[in-house]
Amino acid sequence: MAPWLFLAVSVFGALLTLNAYVGQRRTGPLVMFSFMLGWGVAELPLHTLALQLLGTLAFAAAGAFDAAPGFWGLLISLFSWTALAGMVTQARKADPIFEASLSAVLGPDYRSEIDADLNQQADRVSPPPGLAVNPFRLSRPEVIRHTDIPYVENGGKRNQLDVYVPRAGVENAPVLLQIHGGGWTIGNKHEQALPLMNYMAAQGWVCVAINYRLSPQNTFPDHLVDVKRAIAWIRREISSYGGNPDFIAATGGSAGGHLTAMAGLTGNDPEYQPGFEEVDTRVQAAVPFYGVYDFANHFDLQPSKTMRGWLGKSVLKKDPVQDIADFRRASPMHRIHPEAPPFFIIHGSNDGLACVEEARHFAQSLSRVSQSATAYGELPLTQHAFEVFHSIRSSAAVVATGRFLAWCLSQERAKNERAKNAGSD
């Protein structure tokens, strides 16, 4: 019995490895199943390998190699383990990919344009571990979190935020706004981007993670209105936490990537600021991770034809044919303009939940129109939500995002200094 059971487990393990390499993107209901099975394997291949080795030892003690099926299973496992080790090599390509993406847009010497104090802060803080025994240990001792702060009066738990600040305190620090994902229907502020927020807060940034109203109970643009309300709260209150309300960068993944891009492209749009139209809701930089950029699917890039219908039913509550103009208006792809802030768009080639083709098109379109820098980093063999916990790719993404934001902040400082000098002449 043990040899045959080991053979079955070995085949299942090999299929998990195969799925991590060629995740399903066009097979309807299997897409979510493929994502859930491939997510951890692709980002934690050595952990997966260690678990499989321990299982193999347990099967060996149970007599799995007393018959031929056990040896067949071992042969299959050896091929799978070799492929898992190869995933580490693939993951290590993330850092040079990001560096090439930033250098191509910001210039080969862009690091020299980052202010000395920001470089010193980055050098002083250790980057997130690429390989960690416990990849889910996400907090840092030098960072504290203030939790469940309301940013809308009588708004309830969905209109609360957390603030991450250096334990030693800070003054006039740049602000990073984190917008969680979850298909506009689920998710929470304490679940995502923790490696990034803790890393940036350790460097002296103030990070703000928000909840927002969710569908289907609420209808777009309620989600975006809440993002704008959170920005308005930052303008009013963040100085009491040591933050500078004049520099706000936005980031988020999946639905949060969509909302990040929309926040970057709709600053001060009164449609999304009911009752607080006078507040400046512009952001100075945007870093969307694996976002959805075209609700209308105008360019027919989405592998699945069901997303537009689902968005119409659950998120916009409108007909995707009769009300197609509203789908376009809710899409970053159709809100591009020359005054957009700098963008760093990050996506994985194996993403089964938000198609990479759409991210490529959005990045290309934005770079042609925007007067600001638009960088695009695409990671091979990378699934959705890859940077939620510590991994090699997650560490590379966090460090690259930190460099990009430091460059944006340096550029903003230089612009403000030029304006000050011009005003004094």
Residues 53, 123, single domain; the answer is no
Rounded CA-CA distance 105/373 in Å is 6
Number of other CB atoms surrounding residue 337 within 10 Å: 11
CB distance 2 to 63 below 8 Å: yes
* Residue range 172-177: mean pLDDT, rounded: 98
Of 105, 89, 46, 65, the residue nearest 368 (C-alpha): 105
Structural domain that includes position 281: 94-424
Rounded CA-CA distance 354/119 in Å is 34
256 Rama sector, left if φ>0, alpha if ψ -120 to 50, beta otherwise: alpha
Q: Which of 38-42, 115-119, 238-242 has the lowest average pLDDT? A: 38-42
Is the bond into 221 cis (omega within 30 degrees of 0)? Answer: yes
Residues 15, 114, single domain; the answer is no
160-166 and 143-150 strand pairing: antiparallel
* Residue range 145-164: mean pLDDT, rounded: 95
Among the three residues 66, 91, 116, which one is the final residue of a domain in this structure?
Answer: 91
Residue 384 falls in the annotated catalytic set: yes
Residue 170 pLDDT grade (very low, low, confident, very high; cuts 50, 70, 90) = very high
Dihedral sign for Cα atoms in the order 76, 78, 83, 87? positive
pLDDT at 200: 98
Total count of domains within the chain: 2
Among the three residues 91, 124, 149, which one is the final residue of a domain in this structure?
Answer: 91
Residues 261, 336, single domain; the answer is yes
Rounded CA-CA distance 222/30 in Å is 31
pLDDT at 1: 83
Residues 388, 390, 391, CA angle at the centre, nearest 5°? 105
CB distance 196 to 251 below 8 Å: yes
Contacts of 313 (CB under 8 A, 6+ apart): 216
Among the three residues 51, 69, 91, which one is the final residue of a domain in this structure?
Answer: 91
Residue 351 falls in the annotated catalytic set: yes
Residues 236, 385, single domain; the answer is yes
pTM of the model: 0.96
Residues 133, 242, single domain; the answer is yes
User: In sequence order, what E strands does 29-153 have?
Assistant: 143-150
193 Rama sector, left if φ>0, alpha if ψ -120 to 50, beta otherwise: left
Phi/psi at 312 (5° precision)? -65, -35
Number of other CB atoms surrounding residue 378 within 10 Å: 18
164 Rama sector, left if φ>0, alpha if ψ -120 to 50, beta otherwise: beta
Is the bond into 141 cis (omega within 30 degrees of 0)? Answer: no
pLDDT at 25: 77
Amino acid at 136: F
Number of other CB atoms surrounding residue 78 within 10 Å: 13
Could you tell me the CATH number of the domain that includes residue 334? Answer: 3.40.50.1820
* Statement: residue 48 has pLDDT above 80: yes
pLDDT at 425: 61
258-269 residues labelled b (16+ CB within 10 A) or e (exposed) = bbbbbbbbbbeb
Residues 143, 183, single domain; the answer is yes
Catalytic site residue from 34, 80, 254, 370: 254
Residues 86, 102, single domain; the answer is no
Residues 120, 250, single domain; the answer is yes
Catalytic site residue from 47, 180, 347, 384: 384
Mean model confidence pLDDT for the chain: 95
Rounded CA-CA distance 367/310 in Å is 29
pLDDT at 30: 82
Residues 19, 119, single domain; the answer is no
pLDDT at 27: 59
Residues 157, 297, single domain; the answer is yes
pLDDT at 23: 78
Rounded CA-CA distance 130/93 in Å is 12
Catalytic site residue from 223, 351, 372, 394: 351
Rounded CA-CA distance 286/184 in Å is 19
Contacts of 242 (CB under 8 A, 6+ apart): 165, 166, 169, 170, 171, 172, 173, 206
Residues 215, 306, single domain; the answer is yes
CA–chain centroid gap for 14, Å, is 28
* Statement: residue 179 has pLDDT above 90: yes
DSSP label at 313?
I
Strand partners, 176: 207, 249
Dihedral sign for Cα atoms in the order 263, 267, 271, 276? positive
* Residue range 287-297: mean pLDDT, rounded: 97
* Statement: residue 26 has pLDDT above 80: no
Amino acid at 424: S
Number of other CB atoms surrounding residue 119 within 10 Å: 15
Residues 123, 32, single domain; the answer is no
pLDDT at 298: 93
